[in-house]
């Protein structure tokens, strides 16, 4: 069994997809502020570690804990979740017609020992005019998502190309996660 220290329904769906038995933990939220001068890769790694550690502290049992973090990075700028629709529109205007990186870090703690992996995916959004971007923002889909879009939903129609991990963009890079689960002795392909 695994404790999932995440409120993201996407992460739960990806774990369920590969048959991992898990329990979602209601861990206290952590401060997601980017530190001054902090590189995006260091930031997502720190967030995943802190989420896993908060999960460890809240877990009622000794089973392994998983925490993860996903950020959209444009140049060196980290785009988190938009605060409102205006910010969502501004993010999508910046993202359209160019390539960005999606960084996803995953941290598994076996006992008190953390192990971390990071995935980087290059995504290019199509050239999109304001009318199209406003229509997408109005769907509300991007509100709780880094970079203001969801590749697994209506947002798939915004994407021109992807190079890397699709599950990483959705929030949990399975290519990196499965070896961490194996390391921690967490089974997959279980009837859930």
Ligand X SMILES: Cc1cn([C@H]2C[C@H](O)[C@@H](COP(=O)(O)OP(=O)(O)OP(=O)(O)O)O2)c(=O)[nH]c1=O
Which residues contact ligand X by CB under 6 A? Answer: 6-8, 10-11, 51, 68-70, 72, 81, 102, 145-147, 149-152, 155, 169-171
| Smallest distance from ligand X to CB 164, Å | 12
| Smallest distance from ligand X to CB 29, Å | 8
| Smallest distance from ligand X to CB 96, Å | 14
Name which of 102 and 189 has its Cβ closer to ligand X.
102
Name which of 171 and 184 has its Cβ closer to ligand X.
171
Q: Active site residue: 69, 86, 130, 144, which one?
A: 69
Name which of 10 and 46 has its Cβ closer to ligand X.
10
Q: CA-CA distance, 125 to 155, in Å (whole number)?
A: 10
Q: 3-class secondary structure for 70-96?
A: EEEEECCEEECCCCCHHHHHHHHHHHE
Displacement of CA 6 from its chain's centroid (Å): 10
31 catalytic per annotation:
no
Q: In the numeric block, which tokens belong to residue 158?
A: 């915004």
Please name the residues in contact with 118: beta carbons below 8 A apart, sequence gap of 6 or more: 41, 44, 45, 103, 104, 105, 106, 176
Residues with a catalytic annotation lie at 69
């Amino acid at each position: 069994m695994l404790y999932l220290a995440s409120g993201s329904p996407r992460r739960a769906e990806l774990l369920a997809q590969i048959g991992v038995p898990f329990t979602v933990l209601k861990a206290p939220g952590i401060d997601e502020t980017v530190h001054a001068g902090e590189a995006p890769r260091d930031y997502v790694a720190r967030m995943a570690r802190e989420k896993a550690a908060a999960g460890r502290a809240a877990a009622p049992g000794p089973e392994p804990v998983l925490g993860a973090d996903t950020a959209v990075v444009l140049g060196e700028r980290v785009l988190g979740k938009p605060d409102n629709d205006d910010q969502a529109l501004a993010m999508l205007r910046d993202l359209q017609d160019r390539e960005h990186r999606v960084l996803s870090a995953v941290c598994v703690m076996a006992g008190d020992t953390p192990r971390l992996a990071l995935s980087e995916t290059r995504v290019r959004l199509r050239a999109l005019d304001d009318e199209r971007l406003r229509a997408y923002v109005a769907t509300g889909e991007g509100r709780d998502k880094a970079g203001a879009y969801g590749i697994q939903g209506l947002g798939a129609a915004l994407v021109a190309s992807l190079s890397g991990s699709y599950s990483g963009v959705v929030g949990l890079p399975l290519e990196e996660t499965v070896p961490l689960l194996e390391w921690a002795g967490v089974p997959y392909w279980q009837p859930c």
